[in-house]
Structure 1
Amino acid sequence: MAMATLRFIGRKIVLGKQGPGLAAASTLRRALATTVGSVDKQKRLLTVRWSDKSRRDSLLPLAWLRDNCQCSACFHPDTLSRLQLMENFDPKIGADSVQFDDASKTCSVTWSDGHVSTYKYDWLMRRSFDSESQQQRSLWYSGKHELWGSDYAIRRHPFDQLMKSDSSLLQFLNDMEAFGLTVVEGAPIAGTEGLRAVTDLCNRVAFPMETNYGTTFTVKSKLNPSNLAYTPARLGLHVDLPFYKDPPGIQLLHCLAQSNNITGGENFFSDGFHAANLLKVANSDAYKMLTTRLVDFYDYETDHLADFHMLCRQRVISLTSDGEYEMICYNNQVRDTYLNMPADQVQLFYDALKAFDTLLHGEQCSVSTKLKEGDIVTFDNRRVLHGRNSYTVHGTAERHLEGAYLRWDEVYSRIRRLEESVRSRQP
Structure 2
Amino acid sequence: MLKLPVSSSIQHALTIARYCTSLKETPTLNAFIDDISRRQIQIRWNDGKCGNFPYVWLRDTSPDTQTYTFSSAMTARNLTMRDFDVEVVPQRIALEEGQLVIDWPAGVVSKYSSEWLRLRNPCDDEMRHRRRQVYLKETQLWNAKEIASRLGRYEFKAVINDDHVLHDFLSSVCRDGIAFVSGGTPDAVALIGQRIGLIQRTHFGEIFEVTTKVDASNMAYASNKELPFHTDFPSLNDPPQLQMLHMLQRADEGGLNLFVDGFHVAEQLRINHRKYFDLLTRVKMEYIEQGYDVHEGSDGKPYTFYYDMAAQHRVIRTDMDGNVIRIQFGNAMRSWFYECDVSEIQEVYRAMKLFTDYCYRPENILKIQMENGDIVLWANTRLLHTRTAYRSSADRPRRLSGCYFSWDIVKSRIRHLRDKLNHPLNQPCA
Mapped partners of 2:65, 2:157: distance in 1: 44
Report the CA distance between 1:301 and its aligned residue: 1.2
2:162 to 155, 165, 189: 165
Report the CA distance between 1:34 and its aligned residue: 5.3
Report the CA distance between 1:146 and its aligned residue: 1.8
Report the CA distance between 1:96 and its aligned residue: 3.1
Report the CA distance between 1:75 and its aligned residue: 1.1
CA contact (8 A) 1:76 1:82 kept: yes
Name the residue aligned to 1:346. 345
Name the residue aligned to 2:293. 303
Mapped partners of 2:360, 2:306: distance in 1: 34
Matched, 1:50 2:45: yes
Report the CA distance between 1:282 and its aligned residue: 0.4
Name the residue aligned to 2:248. 256
Name the residue aligned to 1:73. 66
Name the residue aligned to 1:363. 362
Name the residue aligned to 1:100. 95
Look up the equivalent residue of 2:408 and give its one-letter code: D
Report the CA distance between 1:423 and its aligned residue: 3.4
Can you list the C-alpha shifts for 1:328-347, whole angstroms capped at 9, x where unaligned?
Answer: 11111222222121111212
Report the CA distance between 1:413 and its aligned residue: 1.3
Mapped partners of 1:205, 1:45: distance in 2: 42
Residues 213/93 of structure 1: CA separation in 2 closer, same or farther (3 Å cut): same
Deviates more, 1:114-123 or 1:244-253: 114-123
CA contact (8 A) 2:66 2:108 kept: no
Report the CA distance between 1:33 and its aligned residue: 7.5
Name the residue aligned to 2:237. 245
Q: Helix, strand or coil: the match of 1:251? A: strand
Unpaired runs of at least 5, structure 2: 1-26, 296-304, 425-430
Name the residue aligned to 2:208. 217
CA contact (8 A) 2:251 2:391 kept: no
Name the residue aligned to 1:293. 283
Can you list the C-alpha shifts for 1:127-167, whole angstroms capped at 9, x where unaligned?
Answer: 22233322221111124212211112233211111111111
2:103 to 101, 106, 110: 110
CA contact (8 A) 1:259 1:398 kept: yes
Mapped partners of 2:107, 2:152: distance in 1: 58
Name the residue aligned to 2:181. 184
CA contact (8 A) 1:212 1:304 kept: no
Look up the equivalent residue of 2:86 and give its one-letter code: P
CA contact (8 A) 2:281 2:314 kept: yes
Look up the equivalent residue of 2:179 and give its one-letter code: T
Question: How many aligned residue pairs are there?
Answer: 382
Look up the equivalent residue of 2:278 and give its one-letter code: K
Report the CA distance between 1:227 and its aligned residue: 0.6
Report the CA distance between 1:254 and its aligned residue: 0.8
Can you list the C-alpha shifts for 1:379-426, whole angstroms capped at 9, x where unaligned?
Answer: 11121111112223345341111111111111111112222333379x
Q: Helix, strand or coil: the match of 1:323? A: coil
Matched, 1:268 2:258: yes
Name the residue aligned to 1:134. 128
Look up the equivalent residue of 2:136 and give its one-letter code: S
Can you list the C-alpha shifts for 1:6-25, whole angstroms capped at 9, x where unaligned?
Answer: xxxxxxxxxxxxxxxxxxxx
Name the residue aligned to 1:208. 199
Residues 166/115 of structure 1: CA separation in 2 closer, same or farther (3 Å cut): closer
Q: Helix, strand or coil: the match of 1:207? A: coil
Mapped partners of 2:340, 2:244: distance in 1: 35
CA contact (8 A) 1:269 1:384 kept: yes
Mapped partners of 2:362, 2:75: distance in 1: 50
Structure with the greater relative contact order (CA < 8 A, sep ≥ 6): 1 or 2?
A: 2
Larger radius of gyration: 1
Look up the equivalent residue of 2:158 and give its one-letter code: Q
CA contact (8 A) 1:296 1:311 kept: yes
Q: Helix, strand or coil: the match of 1:204? A: helix
Q: Helix, strand or coil: the match of 1:88? A: coil
CA contact (8 A) 1:95 1:111 kept: yes
CA contact (8 A) 2:263 2:382 kept: yes
Q: Helix, strand or coil: the match of 1:236? A: coil
What is the TM-score normalised by the length of structure 2?
0.83
CA contact (8 A) 2:251 2:390 kept: no
Mapped partners of 1:301, 1:88: distance in 2: 52
2:82 to 74, 87, 104: 87
Name the residue aligned to 1:27. none
Mapped partners of 1:239, 1:211: distance in 2: 15
Name the residue aligned to 1:316. 315
Look up the equivalent residue of 1:162 and give its one-letter code: V
- Percent identity between matched residues is 29
Matched, 1:40 2:35: yes
Report the CA distance between 1:89 and its aligned residue: 0.6
Cα RMSD (Å) of the superposition? 2.1
What is the TM-score normalised by the length of structure 1?
0.84
Can you list the C-alpha shifts for 1:342-399, whole angstroms capped at 9, x where unaligned?
Answer: 1112122112222211111112311112221111122111211111122233453411
Mapped partners of 1:33, 1:67: distance in 2: 23
Matched, 1:280 2:270: yes
Mapped partners of 1:157, 1:114: distance in 2: 54
Mapped partners of 2:28, 2:53: distance in 1: 21
Q: Helix, strand or coil: the match of 2:179? A: strand
CA contact (8 A) 2:29 2:99 kept: no
1:230 to 213, 218, 221: 221
Q: Helix, strand or coil: the match of 1:310? A: strand
Report the CA distance between 1:224 and its aligned residue: 0.8
Mapped partners of 1:198, 1:112: distance in 2: 55
Can you list the C-alpha shifts for 1:35-68, whole angstroms capped at 9, x where unaligned?
Answer: 2222333432322222233xx3222222211112
Mapped partners of 1:162, 1:360: distance in 2: 31
Report the CA distance between 1:302 and its aligned residue: 0.8
